[in-house]
Amino acid sequence: MTFQKINTSLVLIIFFAVQYTASTQNNTNIHFVIEETSFDRLCQSKKILTINGRFPGPTIYARAGETLALDIENKGKDNVTMFCCRGTGSRHVKFDQVEWLVEAGSKVRKNITISDDDEGTLWWHALDIWQRATVHGAFIVHPKPGTNQALPFSMPHDHVDIPIILGEWWKKDVKEIFLEYVDSGGDINSDAFTINGQPGDFYPCSNNGTFRIEVDIGKKYLLRVVNAAMSKTLYFGIARHNLTVIAMDGSPITEPFTTDYIELTIQHSIDCIFEANQQPNYYYMVDVMNISEVYDTNKITTAIIEYQGSYIPSLPPLLPLLPNFSPNYDKSSSRDYLYVIMTFVILGLFFCTTCAVWYRQTNRAHRSAMVTPM
């Protein structure tokens, strides 16, 4: 795969660009360095384990059918087991490429072959719970060149990818917190949820860093949202903008649906389109644990959608609008999944019953064979 191919089919804005070296072969080489890095958040400075000094880590872009060579160098004090690219369908990469150890002080190369029919967003992360809290990032799979791309089904070719990693921040040392948690079995509450590493405007010492997306009116954007939080289901929405969900966990869905917010359970991802079709202004993108608390500014994590152009944003001093999550989240579109699940349950029951009957019969036959006098 080469850059030219990417450029002709997609214009990518790579917010957390990976060092992407197009080699003479069609392999893409990616270099990750595991290292401790200092960050200022919530009025304090502390070190966390990172990849390439970033939180969240770099986004990996791949194409269906491609083989990536991922070099990981561990400059940290601890061994790190990396985990990559498995959606719930668990068909994305070969079994022996899913997790691997990178010992402290060593460098490991892993080839990762993406299956042909994947497209959507997955994620990679460290396996250890305390390492996973900060060592994670999105893994975006674009369709094979020349194929009928199923994913951006109604997207213009020049759509813009925007990885959105929902994570958490702890003021204390993450390793200590998780070791305590393992000992005590208590809950692991963080000090703030984050959107691309930032708690947003409503947290102390945070508004300088609030994640922002500049958008052009009339354009569509493909948000690649991953819930990388440790244990909490999160809700995500944008003020006055709908989201059209087109893929989940690295696979396109059959019936895309439009909603005003999405619900993400941990370790899951959703690809959704939002169209910059509103009055030019600043709008908040919000991440909350409880939708009833979307107006409680002590409890919400925010990022900003900023329309380009010359206008005066509403509500000085540039306070963006908050989303209005309707209480009756339209779950009708989830019904399809329910049907699929029900079908599997029914098939499963049928299979089990058949199996049990078969087992009883063979067993009986077996037993009767055993008691047959010789």
Ligand X SMILES: *[C@@H]1O[C@H](CO)[C@@H](O)[C@H](O)[C@H]1NC(C)=O
39: tokens are 């960050």
Query: Could you say whether residue 78 binds ligand X (CB under 6 A)?
Result: yes
Q: Of 22-30, 117-125, 246-254, 262-270, which segment contacts ligand X by CB under 6 A?
A: 22-30
Q: Of 19-27, 123-131, 147-155, 191-199, which segment contacts ligand X by CB under 6 A?
A: 19-27
Query: Could you say whether residue 179 binds ligand X (CB under 6 A)?
Result: no
Residue 355, burial from CB neighbour count under 10 angstroms (0-12, 13-18, 19+): exposed
Of 2, 7, 26, 90, the residue at the interface with ligand X (CB under 6 A) is: 26
Of 24, 208, 298, 310, the residue at the interface with ligand X (CB under 6 A) is: 208
Q: Of 171-179, 193-201, 239-247, 339-347, which segment contacts ligand X by CB under 6 A?
A: 239-247
Query: Could you say whether residue 292 binds ligand X (CB under 6 A)?
Result: yes
Of 158, 255, 293, 336, the residue at the interface with ligand X (CB under 6 A) is: 293
Of 104, 179, 315, 342, the residue at the interface with ligand X (CB under 6 A) is: 104
Answer for the pair 202, 240: CB distance below 8 angstroms, yes or no: no
Query: Could you say whether residue 290 binds ligand X (CB under 6 A)?
Result: yes
Of 25, 231, 297, 343, the residue at the interface with ligand X (CB under 6 A) is: 25
Answer for the pair 179, 130: CB distance below 8 angstroms, yes or no: yes
Query: Could you say whether residue 45 binds ligand X (CB under 6 A)?
Result: no
Residues with Cβ within 8 Å of 140's Cβ and at least 6 positions away in sequence, in order, are 59, 60, 61, 62, 120, 121, 122, 161, 163, 224
Q: Of 14-22, 120-128, 218-226, 238-246, which segment contacts ligand X by CB under 6 A?
A: 238-246
Minimum gap (Å) between residue 373 Cβ and ligand X? 57
Type of residue found at 134: T
Query: Could you say whether residue 103 binds ligand X (CB under 6 A)?
Result: yes
Query: Could you say whether residue 361 binds ligand X (CB under 6 A)?
Result: no
Nearer to ligand X, 55 or 249 (CB): 55
Cα gap 44→82, rounded to integer Å:
28
Query: Could you say whether residue 297 binds ligand X (CB under 6 A)?
Result: no
The dihedral over CA atoms of 54, 55, 61, 62, expressed in degrees to the nearest 10, equals 100
Answer for the pair 130, 115: CB distance below 8 angstroms, yes or no: no
Query: Could you say whether residue 106 binds ligand X (CB under 6 A)?
Result: no
The binding site for ligand X (CB under 6 A) comprises: 25-27, 67, 69, 78-79, 103-104, 109, 111, 205, 208, 240-242, 258, 290, 292-293
